[in-house]
Amino acid sequence: MSTNSFPITTLPAETSLRAFGSATMLQSGRLLRRWTREPAILVQSLIFPAFLLVVFDWVLGKTVTLFSGEDSLFGLVPMSALLAGMFGTITTGIALTAERDSGLLTRFWVLPVHRASGLASRLLAEAVRTLATTVILTAVGYALGFRFEQGFVSALGFIAVPVLFIIGFATMILAIAVVTSGRSALELLASICLLMLFFNSGLVPVDKYPDWLQPVVRAQPMSPAIEAMRGLSAGGPVLTPLLQSLAWTVGFVVVFGVLAVRGYRRAASE
């Protein structure tokens, strides 16, 4: 039964791989077009991170460079790209709670489309949006003086890391968004992510934090991704932080994937 006053007949769902692919692409395109018209998503996923990148570079850039012995942009650009993906995903998660409450998910659920395309399309759209914002923020960093010192292939890897990271993070957001108290939980998570902004290896190298805080900064999910991106742009270790970041992504998917599927099905079929 939908949230309207009349019943909705559920049509048989498609089950073929071709139907899954076409429905996922179609719904991803719908989401991306809609997001471009929503100011809140544009602000959280691009304008706010770009503003932080410019401000941090102007205010703290020279100090951090002298303090760490390395151009601060090699940490600030990766940090801004990850923040863009995280805050953008949280904002779209909050929008998903509105779709759940309005019954829009139910309307899509009763259409004769592949059931798995609903979640898959959202993950794909998040990945595409993160890819676009990473490219734009890297261009902003380039205007500020950021340069790739490890070649073209490493530059492609640099841009791919936030996309990999956000697939796992978005899985967690989707799992939270489809529960009854999802909006409140996402708003709390946004506050936690804002706190993470000041305790990661992109703002200041880990070894510059107090000894008791270093394990926390090193272990939080942003830091391995930032270190992998730093290695791909400036040089340094890549494999270990990349594997750590991949472990975070796999962990998010494993822990929250089943919850997201069950919660989405329940929210869409009620």
- SS3 for the chain is CCCCCCCCCCCCCCCCHHHHHHHHHHHHHHHHHHHCCCHHHHHHHHHHHHHHHHHHHHHHHHHHHHHHCCCCHHHHHHHHHHHHHHHHHHHHHHHHHHHHHHCHHHHHHCCCCCCCHHHHHHHHHHHHHHHHHHHHHHHHHHHHCCCCCCCHHHHHHHHHHHHHHHHHHHHHHHHHHCCCCHHHHHHHHHHHHHHHCCCCCCCCCHHHCCCCCHHHHHHCCHHHHHHHHHHHHCCCCCHHHHHHHHHHHHHHHHHHHHHHHHHHHHHHHC
Average pLDDT over residues 247-270: 88
pLDDT at 270 over 90: no
Contact 92, 186 (CB under 8 A): no
Q: What count of Cα atoms within 13 Å lies in the side-chain half-sphere of residue 48? A: 17
Q: Considering the entire predicted model, what is its pTM?
A: 0.88
User: Hey, what are 39's tokens?
Assistant: 């100011």
Q: Lowest mean pLDDT: which of 40-49, 113-122, 181-190?
A: 113-122
Q: Please tell me the predicted confidence (pLDDT) of residue 263.
A: 85
On average, the pLDDT of the chain sits at 87
User: Hey, what are 61's tokens?
Assistant: 């850039």
Q: Lowest mean pLDDT: which of 8-17, 29-38, 217-226?
A: 8-17
Q: Please tell me the predicted confidence (pLDDT) of residue 182.
A: 80
Give tens-digit pLDDT for 71-120.
Answer: 899 999 999 999 999 999 999 999 888 888 877 777 766 666 776 778 88
Average pLDDT over residues 127-133: 95
pLDDT at 2 over 50: no
